[in-house]
Structure 1
Amino acid sequence: MEIVHLLRAVAVDLARHSTRFAQRNGMHPTDVRALIALMDAARAGEETTAGRLGTALGLNSAGTTALVDRLERAGHVRRVRDARDRRKVTIEVDERAVALGWSHFGPLIDRAVDLLREYDERELAAVRGFLTGMRKATV
């Protein structure tokens, strides 16, 4: 149970860290979750429509539209029309939003990377397996 309690504590600490970022930048915590979802999709080579973003965040259509409008007004995202199908609009994160996020989360990411360098491949595989299993358990 000790590891379960440590995992819960880490989840709480990470949520607090994310909330501080949102507060310092005049954002709602859902805005931060949206930016993370958009960056994760981009990193995976996936385009994200408003519908797909709403599904990922558990928002209805009106809530998703309000969220994207808010992020666009703040300069964090932009709507991009598909060149082949002008009806299709994807949401992309602006580079300034990435830089803003990196300025807050970068030091934490650097510390995590440094910690991971202390583990050998076998240990990393165990950590990866545990975290992957936990992600599946939360869905």
Structure 2
Amino acid sequence: MTNDPLAADWSSAQVEVMHRLRDWVVGFTALNQHLGTWMRLPASDANALGQIIWAAETDAPLSPAQLARQLGMTTGATTILLNRLETAGHVVRSRESADRRRVTLRPAPESREHARRFLALAGTEIAGVLHTTPPAELRTVAAFLARITTAAAEADGRLSSGSRTP
């Protein structure tokens, strides 16, 4: 494979996958904007709140630093965003760890329930696809997405460290 991805000889299946990944990002962004409207929040705040709720739902609550990485924001900008969400009553910061310096982000119960009502309305089609897809296909897709996510994280780490060579 050439070092120039734009000059590489891509198969039609590879191009199709990249188009579908892009389409998912576009669709997810649109749904996030609807969540923002539903919650009466700017899209960036709704995205952050969604990340906080999802993490809490999976029993893996985020720290502010983890949220900043997921959002692609600086810790300072994330702190300002969290201050807005906390002031509006959407997020609670707590110290649940033995290390009292570690802050855990949790959605406020009312905001969590309001977001759940949105997901019940907005997630119907996505849930339908997930529930009707055969388990073997889901495992294949999950494995592929894990590999492509790892590749993206490796590229991000390399670029963040200032390295311009693969």
Q: Please, what TM-score do these two structures have when normalized by structure 1?
A: 0.78
Aligned to 2:127: 113
Instruction: For 2:16 and 2:97, locate their aligned partners in 1 and report how far apart those are by CA, in whole Å.
Output: 53
- Matched positions, count: 139
SS at match of 1:138: helix
Aligned to 2:108: 94
SS at match of 1:112: helix
Q: Measured at CA, do residues 108 and 129 of structure 1 come closer, stay the same or move farther in structure 2, by a change above 3 Å? A: farther
SS at match of 1:45: coil
Identity rate, percent: 27
Question: Which runs of 5 or more residues in structure 2 are unaligned?
Answer: 1-14, 154-166
Q: Is the 8 A contact 2:39 2:46 kept in 1?
A: no
Higher mean alpha-carbon deviation, 6-15 vs 46-55, is at 46-55
Aligned to 1:124: 138
Instruction: For 1:97 and 1:55, locate their aligned partners in 2 and report how far apart those are by CA, in whole Å.
Output: 23
Q: What does 1:43-82 correspond to in 2, within 5 Å? A: 43-82=57-96
SS at match of 1:117: helix
CA displacement, residues 31-58 of structure 1 (integer Å, 9 cap, x when unaligned):
1222232233324433433233223323
Q: Measured at CA, do residues 52 and 29 of structure 1 come closer, stay the same or move farther in structure 2, by a change above 3 Å? A: same
Q: Please, what TM-score do these two structures have when normalized by structure 2?
A: 0.68
CA displacement, residues 2-25 of structure 1 (integer Å, 9 cap, x when unaligned):
333233223212211211221343
Aligned to 1:134: 148
Instruction: For 1:11 and 1:129, locate their aligned partners in 2 and report how far apart those are by CA, in whole Å.
Output: 18
